[in-house]
Structure 1
Amino acid sequence: MSNLATLSARIVPTDPLRRKLIAIRLAESIGKGIFLSGSIVYFTLHVGLTARQVGLGLSAAGMSGLISSVTFGMIADRVGPRRLLTIIFLALAVGFGSYSLVDSSAAFFIVVMCVGFVEYGTSPTNSALIGTLVPANERVRLKALMRSVFNIGFSVGIGVAAVAALSRNLLVVIPLTTAALMVVAAMLVTRLPEGEPKPVPVGFRRFAAVRDRGFLRVIGVSAVLASHITLVLVTLPLWALTHTPVPHSVVPLLLIFNTVFVILFQVRASKGADTVAGASRLARRSGIWLAGGCLVVAVTALDDNVVLLTGALIAAMLIMSVAEVMQSASAWGLGFGLAPEHAQGEYLGAFELSVITQNIAGPALLSGIVVAYGFWGWTAIAAVVLTAAAAVVPVTRRRAALVPAGVS
């Protein structure tokens, strides 16, 4: 009980504003945990879609993020992030609720792409809101707190979805409960202050973030370092299942281990990432850790001892989890630190492309490499990650020395 109390005290801020922001994140994460973990079961058993149709729809929804992330960030800068975030959550409530009415593949594709487009606007708008309400030196730590809370809420959502999946009659609870939680999140957003608008300098151009070549280079390097997303959630579990003799029950345990690790250590890992220089150094360290994790997995291709392989996979997940919390914190520090105060939404939306690109290209690319080439595939991934780790500090330093794009 004392450990739970300590964790609760670490995650729940005493400041009312930050508590409200945490509550919004909790409502959102439970809803997304319910839907993402139960969506395959819902669409295949309740709606009657094939697994291929569901996969194509979700991939199409992910592609929409390439446009919506920057677009919503720009809108947040113009109309105010609080107002836009309220609209986004209400739109998501309608979208998730509409899934309960879907009865064909055509309707599914329409709804899933609309929901995906709006959903990818949540992160940059939320980050822009934090940028207007929270001092610069506290933003990264708050994002770390919110990520720990997200993992907790997501885990709760998985439990709710598991209960709903026990009966076909309960499956409709999955989209409807998610929709209700989006309404709760919207209501909580309306209780936040508006935040002070930042004056836009004369000469600032639209789409400045995607014109900013130095900023795009930082995004590109960060996309490589963010490959832990795919490696932890897809590639490592797939490798363990198909290329090692370890019991299949080990795989979900690895993912549970990762989730708990993030909850416990994400805030601690954010220390020092509240400056651009500190964030870039942390990003470099994250790449070194991630490459190390890849090399540990590579070793599992050379032996078939179940005990040793199980230990190696656990060690690899631990190392990759360290890389994950470091890289996440560094990404927030770089995003906030390099974004002009008057264009937080647009620049943070552009920085989100590093994650979106990884979500779209990562699973097929990285899993294909390790499945085809085994030991050398993992070694090649480690080499690419180390190259990105070596590049991130000088690339960031050059961008930080420039006048923000669009300012004459």
Structure 2
Amino acid sequence: MGIRLAESVGKGVFMSGNVIYFTLAVGLSPAQVGLGISAASLAGFTASLLLGMVSDRIGARRLLTILFVAEAVGFTLYPLVHSLPVFFALIVVMGFLEFGTGPSMAALIGTLVPPENRVRMRAVMRTVFNIGFSIGSGIAAVAVLGRDVLDAIPLSTAVLIAVAALLVRFLPADRARPTAVRAKKFSAVRDLRFVSVVGLSSVLATHVNIVLVALPLWVLTRTSAPHWTVPLMLVLNTAFVITFQVRASRGADTLSGASRMARRSGVWLAAACGIAAVTTWTSNTVVTMAVLITALLVFSVTEVMQSASAWGMAYGLAPERAPAEYLGTFDLHVISQNVVGPALLSGIVIAFGAWGWGLIAAVVLVAAALIVPAAQRARRPDSPVEDAAPAVPVAGS
């Protein structure tokens, strides 16, 4: 938990203040900063695939330590950035490192935690991350009050990530996995049944950018709600996830349970889209705000359910021979949202209004209907007869 808290506070400091830091301290335009952040997300595709395979070979704990140390060094270099090419080079490398930590962290949990407790552990860690991120955001808010202390944003993040790297070394070593059972390179992306589950999960994970991008833009451009409704909704969403994520993980510790939960999350997501569409026909500010808050809470229910279901399916489908690679490939269902979700979803709802919300809901319901049979088809022949998540040993460190 200490590792996750140190990492989340550090990431909260930087992610909450990075746009202000790059525009005021480095002198970049908002468009340049946005393009750099998008490029960093694209680097995550490669990182999740390649570093998952590396983790399987050298050990999750060892690779996680290396990545945290490299990240800490990278954050200390941000104050030296004074040109656009250097900014792009550094932020892409940092995006690669950051997204690469996911498969190693997930595989490490798979090694150290019993199968029946893995999803709950991921839920606890996500709760801790949200708490730490909120603390980091508060620190960043203080830092941006004065331009003279802007460099404290990346430097404080570097210190906290270094602490996380140190704490990783206190964890037990990974259990060794014989060389003979190692998988072929890129075996996860060659597993088309597994990839189909990842693709369907990407659709069910659209709540990520609906809450962060599409819904706020909808509030600002297509409703009569005051602008301060946006930060209010984001605070409510964070508080909801912190409060209910662990409770929502119950029942997602098996492949069948996780896939059924994914299906339910899709129904909730479609319902939330329908509620948001109602604001098209409301003109009273109080009524509009009430509908928006209701939609936000239903989106939040979707979020905690879909997150838990994704962890359960990822662990349930990851084979012994390449756990981190499969877990990293499953992470693409969220990374893809970071790359294409903001523009696609916001474009649909802003351009087409209620019909746009209806289109999203229809696509989500199709994915929800397909996710259970897809997960069962992707189940590996060596999965245990009882529907429990298989053990996920990782290469020795």
Conserved in 1, the CA contact under 8 Å of 2:233 and 2:293? yes
Partners in 1 of 2:228 and 2:213 — Cα distance?
A: 16
Question: Where in structure 1 do 4 or more consecutive aligned residues deviate above 6 Å?
Answer: none
Compared CA separation, residues 245 and 203, structure 1 to 2 (3 A): closer
Conserved in 1, the CA contact under 8 Å of 2:319 and 2:380? no
1:342 Cα deviation after fit:
3.0
Q: 2:108 maps to which residue? A: 129
Percent identity over the alignment is 58
Q: Does 1:193 align with 2:143?
A: no
Task: Name the aligned partner's letter for residue 61 of structure 1.
Answer: A
Task: Name the aligned partner's letter for residue 278 of structure 2.
Answer: V
Q: Does 1:370 align with 2:349?
A: yes
Task: Name the aligned partner's letter for residue 63 of structure 1.
Answer: L
Partners in 2 of 1:145 and 1:189 — Cα distance?
A: 17
**Which deviations, in whole Å up to 9, do the C-alpha atoms of 1:105-162 show, x marking residues without a partner?**
1110111011011111011110011111111111100000000000000000000000
2:205 pairs, out of 190, 215, 226, with: 226
TM-score, normalisation: structure 2: 0.95
1:250 Cα deviation after fit:
1.1
Partners in 2 of 1:111 and 1:204 — Cα distance?
A: 32
Partners in 2 of 1:199 and 1:319 — Cα distance?
A: 46
1:282-293 paired onto structure 2 within 5 Å: 282-293=261-272
1:387 pairs, out of 366, 380, 384, with: 366
SS, match of residue 321 in structure 2: helix
**Which deviations, in whole Å up to 9, do the C-alpha atoms of 1:249-279 show, x marking residues without a partner?**
1110100000000000000000010000000
Conserved in 2, the CA contact under 8 Å of 1:197 and 1:342? no
Q: 1:244 maps to which residue? A: 223
Task: Name the aligned partner's letter for residue 246 of structure 1.
Answer: A
Q: 2:394 maps to which residue? A: none
1:104 Cα deviation after fit:
1.0
1:303 Cα deviation after fit:
1.9
Partners in 2 of 1:342 and 1:402 — Cα distance?
A: 13
Task: Name the aligned partner's letter for residue 94 of structure 2.
Answer: V
Conserved in 1, the CA contact under 8 Å of 2:317 and 2:380? no
1:195 Cα deviation after fit:
2.1
Q: 2:64 maps to which residue? A: 85
Task: Name the aligned partner's letter for residue 113 of structure 2.
Answer: V
1:203 Cα deviation after fit:
7.6
1:104-183 paired onto structure 2 within 5 Å: 104-183=83-162
Partners in 1 of 2:293 and 2:58 — Cα distance?
A: 47
Conserved in 2, the CA contact under 8 Å of 1:81 and 1:128? yes
Q: Does 1:399 align with 2:378?
A: yes
Partners in 2 of 1:199 and 1:390 — Cα distance?
A: 39
1:39 pairs, out of 18, 34, 39, with: 18
Q: Does 1:264 align with 2:230?
A: no
Partners in 2 of 1:101 and 1:310 — Cα distance?
A: 44
TM-score, normalisation: structure 1: 0.92
Q: How many residues align?
A: 383
Conserved in 2, the CA contact under 8 Å of 1:200 and 1:342? no
Q: 2:321 maps to which residue? A: 342
Partners in 1 of 2:120 and 2:12 — Cα distance?
A: 23
Q: Does 1:98 align with 2:77?
A: yes
Q: Does 1:29 align with 2:29?
A: no
1:235 pairs, out of 214, 221, 236, with: 214
**Which deviations, in whole Å up to 9, do the C-alpha atoms of 1:3-46 show, x marking residues without a partner?**
xxxxxxxxxxxxxxxxxxx1100000001100001000000001
1:289-300 paired onto structure 2 within 5 Å: 289-300=268-279
